[in-house]
Amino acid sequence: MQTNKGKPEGALTQYITGFEGGESTLKRLIASAIDIKANLPLYMAERPLAGKVMTSIFLNPSLRTRTSFEAAMHKLGGHMVALSPGAGSWDMEFEKGVIMDGAKAEHIIEAVGALSSYSDVIGMRAFSQMEDFAAEMADRPIHAVADHARVPVISLESACHHPCQALADSMTLHELFGGQTQGQPFVLSWAWHPRMCGVAVPHSALLAAARMGMDVTLAHPEGYELHAPVMAQAADLAASTGGSLKVVHSMDEACKGAKVIYAKAWGSPLDYGDKVAGCARNASHKQWTLGARHMAMGQDARFMHCLPVRRNVVVEDAVLDSPASVVQQQAANRMWGQMALLIEMLGQGAHQES
């Protein structure tokens, strides 16, 4: 079977972790996103994605990812088709070798083969099932798509990574600090939530901040450790960029001196396979709601969150509705970052600043 490994050398054929293409690619994407944001009418006139089709498979709900990709494709001259397997398209099987005598009518192998005939890029959102932490961190569904696609593949959030959110967050941090992110104090804090959430956003936010050379403090209650290989990657990035990484178990301790506080809920890896226990563990840490008093401990700190966010559970209204909140800037940057990514992957004749 022909796969996307056959794409021309040098072309970005995947965006699954956000590290494809290396540091120069990230810098180019941020610069391009900022240029598109400043010059949208020029890009809309040039239509660098004219005739291009993106097909997106959403196994989970989305507001920002789906809409920002649809808007990006449309404004740049292309088109996006969004599929919701099980609700308008066939429910999909991902495992190899299964006997498909249940509810799932279509295997990803045939689905991606067909979609590759119609599309220039395929996106997929496949959250964690919250059943087996170690196994799910391998992100088998998105890799199954990449293995069988004949076109580039973009993760729209998997169990382990949310690279497009990280791209928008990296752009937002770049804007907040005028590009001078090196050594700036960044806090990623766990927050309480009534349900078990995945670790993709905290993983990608942690890696983004470390990659930008920030002094990163990760705060969470004991038992909420992130995936060890991701922690090791963040430590390596901090070492190579001149930043730092430390872990504390107190929101108060973490927020002292912070310039950015990114709050996010995630489920304990100890509770994958037992959501009742996971929700109960979360509820035992209800004091981990980010409030105005935490923001006041920082240095004119900005509040970040990927959205959607549960008001007065993850974060108080007083923070979310304050000028310190940059959540709408992050959400808006999803579209600019993804425009840059799509042009990088698919575009011809994209606008360049002279």
Q: Which residues bind ligand CP (CB under 6 A)?
A: 62-65, 157, 165, 306-308
HEC-encoded secondary structure of 121-158: EEEEECCCCCCCHHHHCCCHHHHHHHHHCCCCEEECCC
For every residue of the chain, which 3-state class applies, written as one string? CCCHHHCCCCCCCEECCCCCCHHHHHHHHHHHHHHHHHCHHHHHHHCCCCCCEEEEEECCCCCHHHHHHHHHHHHCCCEEEEECECCCECCEECCCCCCCCCCCCEEHHHHHHHHHHHCCEEEEECCCCCCCHHHHCCCHHHHHHHHHCCCCEEECCCCCCCHHHHHHHHHHHHHHCCCCCCCCEEEEEECCCCCCCCCHHHHHHHHHHHHCCCEEEEECCCCCCCCHHHHHHHHHHHHHHCCEEEEECCHHHHHCCCCEEEEECCCCHHHCCCHHHHHHHHHCCCCCCECHHHHHHCCCCEEECCCCCCECCCECHHHHCCCCECHHHHHHHHHHHHHHHHHHHHCCCCCCCC
Rounded distance between C-alpha atoms, residue 351 and residue 222, angstroms: 49
Structure tokens given for 298 = 């920082």
Residue type, 216: V
Q: Smallest distance, Å, CB 261 to ligand CP?
A: 17
Name residue, tokens 């990760």: 218
- The residue among 80 and 306 lying less far from ligand CP, judged by its C-beta, is 306
Token pair belonging to 160: 């382990």
Residue nearest to ligand CP (CB): 65
The amino acid at 161: H
Distance of CA 156 to the CA centre of its chain: 7
Report the distance separating Cα 76 and Cα 44, nearest Å: 5
Task: Give the shortest CB-24-to-ligand CP separation in angstroms.
Answer: 26
Considering the complex, state which of residue 65 and residue 282 has its C-beta at the smaller distance from ligand CP: 65
